[in-house]
A = this chain, B = another copy of it.
């Protein structure tokens, strides 16, 4: 099986990057994701460090063209035996947070947080993204290209659907969390270097209107905007338009349906490029194709 080394990492994605590997639709491959760096020895008097996110890739997906949908299915997330969590006043929702860093052990599907207090793992992939059509995007950013969405439901079994913008898509995968709370309120999670097993499919001309996530239970749109109200509005409108088309409903009915059956959830609310909301409906509401 092709394994893409964690030594092949980027902090930006751009259309003209040279791929470090290539995969065919249907091929199963493995991606090693970067080890967490943490904040290390530092005091609040030190200069604030630049924020970068190192992601493995880019990987060429043979036969993917602009206008296609790239479907990335996560088959497995192999966690290591430890992860790092840290806090800083420039990272999370508390602007007076302490500088803090801990290494936590992971064993038997549990994270050892404190004596008598362990947490179940919730392995997920924080970053699944493709190159933009022009310019470049920081790997730290979530957006229309997918990227650093920090969506808890992107775990084993989930399929991320992204609009392809350039030939070969230029896929990158990284930022694995061993466990996290929804909303990622401290700005990071239990960050690990992991091995992600995935496969891709290309759906010709089927680019979605925004990044989406499909799981056994739900189908969701993922919307990133600088402000909560704009993200909420666009998530609702996008899902209502999709449901109107799929279920042959008037838009007014589809909007009411989103109100009754769509769960608006927070993927993350601390990214400097904007917050990411997920609006999800059950498979039953989404309906068969």
Contact = CB atoms under 8 A, between A and B. Distances in A.
Given A94-B237, A184-B259, A259-B188, A269 B113 contact: no
B260 A111 contact: yes
Interface string A233-263: 1001100100000010101110111111111
Q: How many copies does the complex hold?
A: 2
Nearest to A243: B117
Contact of A258 (B185, B240, B257, B260): B185
A92 interface: yes
Interface of A: 85-87, 92-95, 97-98, 100, 102, 111, 113-114, 117, 119, 179-190, 227-229, 232-233, 236-237, 240, 247, 249, 251-253, 255-266, 269, 275, 279, 285, 287
Contact of A117 (B87, B247, B265): B247
Given A93-B236, A114-B247, A264 B266 contact: yes
27 contacts: A86-B256, A87-B252, A87-B259, A92-B259, A94-B236, A95-B233, A100-B252, A100-B253, A102-B256, A113-B261, A114-B253, A117-B247, A117-B287, A119-B261, A179-B261, A181-B259, A181-B261, A182-B265, A183-B262, A183-B264, A186-B256, A187-B259, A188-B259, A189-B260, A227-B228, A228-B275, A265-B265
